[in-house]
Amino acid sequence: GAVVSQHPSWVICKSGTSVKIECRSLDFQATTMFWYRQFPKQSLMLMATSNEGSKATYEQGVEKDKFLINHASLTLSTLTVTSAHPEDSSFYICSARAPLAGDEQYFGPGTRLTVT
Amino acid sequence: GESVGLHLPTLSVQEGDNSIINCAYSNSASDYFIWYKQESGKGPQFIIDIRSNMDKRQGQRVTVLLNKTVKHLSLQIAATQPGDSAVYFCAENNAGNMLTFGGGTRLMVKP
């Protein structure tokens, strides 16, 4: 149980275009989902916390108008990278927390974004 | 600000030996700590966790030690296998119920 999926697993887009990444909890309902960014050979950095039905909370330095997060249901959160630039190329990872599972976060497999 | 950090980016061990990966944290208010394993191109995989009211917890071939006095966390892997090769991250759960990850240590297992 507690499986989180992401789609797509990798994507290549051109500068100036927008890309949407989906995060789904497959066998549980996630009231809270988190989005992380990971650059090569670096650690995971929290971008934002997403609660179902409310606006996401962004970490300092993360542009909310550039990284649009929508947590429309208890099993789906989306991250849209708008007007992507090469410096947005990164590994984006989501995680989900189940209401009755305490503090543990279940991580997705990640999405590799390359902006050309 | 508060942070979790690692000092050794790469650890190379012989297959069959024990591995010890260390982590220092700075947020004394953190009450929950987790070790994750991340293989190339994949998301983090939960290994073991420990709460601040404990100083040791054992799993299958893994042990986590927590020293709150010096704010130090370690992961011990017994009889390290080639499949253990990965990057290992410690993470702390702070009062805001968010995870802060350490810098990561790459474990390389030599056959």
Which residue in B41, B49, B102 is closest to A43 by CB distance? B102
Among the partner-chain residues B34, B42, B97, the one whose CB lies closest to the CB of A109 is: B42
Is A44 within 8 Å of B101 when comparing Cβ atoms?
A: yes
Q: Is pLDDT at B6 greater than 50 in this prediction?
A: no
pLDDT band at B3 (very low <50, low <70, confident <90, very high): very low
Helix (H) or strand (E) holding B68: none
**pLDDT for res B95:** 66
Q: What is the pLDDT along chain A (116 residues), one digit of tens a residue?
A: 689 999 999 999 999 999 999 999 998 888 899 999 999 889 999 999 998 888 899 999 999 999 999 998 999 999 999 999 999 999 999 999 877 667 788 999 999 999 99
What integer pLDDT is reported at residue B37 of this predicted model?
Answer: 97
pLDDT of res. A19: 98
Q: Which tens digits make up the pLDDT trace of B24-47?
A: 998 888 999 999 999 999 999 999
pLDDT at B79 over 80: yes
pLDDT of B2 > 60? The answer is no
Q: How far, in Å, are A37, B27, B73, B100, B106 from residue B57 at the CA level?
A: 30, 20, 11, 21, 22
| CA of A69 vs chain B CAs: smallest distance (Å) | 17
User: Cα distance from A43 to chain B (closest Cα, Å)?
Assistant: 5
CB B93, CB B35: distance < 8 Å: no
CB contact under 8 A, B45 and A45: no
Three-class HEC string of chain A: CCCEEEECCEEEECCCCCEEEEEEECCCCCCEEEEEEECCCCCCEEEEEEECCCCCEECCCCCCCCEEEEEEECCEEEEEECCCCHHHCEEEEEEEECCCCCCCCEECCCEEEEEC
CA of A4 to nearest chain B CA: how many angstroms apart?
Answer: 10
